[in-house]
Amino acid sequence: MQAATYSGDVCAISASKLTIRGVNGRPQINAAGKSYGGKGIWVVRGNDITIDNVEMFGAKVADKNGAALRLEGTDFTLRNSFLHDNENGILSGANTASTVTIEYTEFGRNGYGDGYSHNLYIGKVAKL
């Protein structure tokens, strides 16, 4: 993914065994008032997904738990990224067959301020 600003570029990622990597700098993904399925910027449904070197911000939804990354698949890795100014940085339910790996990533100013939204919320997984 080329370094640029992508505004309102929300989606579900359903493919598996996929790497999305920012090149020639860090792409900025700004929700710009949009969300995929009322959940967040990118809803990750595929398995064995790696996201590397992206900046994501602005996730807001009606129920106040909009995530930069909403994890619904298994075996997810996030590296070298910056998730900020979202209602949730990463939001994941419980999946005891899944692993979540986060390396060299910064979370900042995420959360709606209601005590129920966070920088990072991961349900019960096999390994974090």
pLDDT of res. 127:
96
* pLDDT given for residue 113 in this prediction: 82
- pLDDT single digits (tens) 34-51: 999 999 999 999 999 999
Instruction: Indicate the pLDDT class of residue 27, thresholds 50, 70 and 90.
Output: very high
Give residue 93's domain range.
5-127
Alpha carbon distance 25, 57 (integer Å): 17
CB under 8 Å to 113, separation ≥6 — which residues? none
Per residue in 69-117, pLDDT tens? Answer: 999 999 999 999 999 999 999 999 999 999 999 999 999 999 988 887 8
Count the domains in the chain: 1
Q: Which residue has the tokens 């060299």?
A: 104
Instruction: Report the pLDDT value the prediction gives residue 30, as an integer from 0 to 100.
Output: 99
Q: How high is the pLDDT of residue 115?
A: 80
Distances from the Cα of 60 to the Cα of 48, 55, 109, 110, angstroms: 26, 16, 13, 10
List the one residue out of 87, 98, 28 whose CA is nearest residue 61: 87
Looking at residue 22, what is its pLDDT?
A: 99
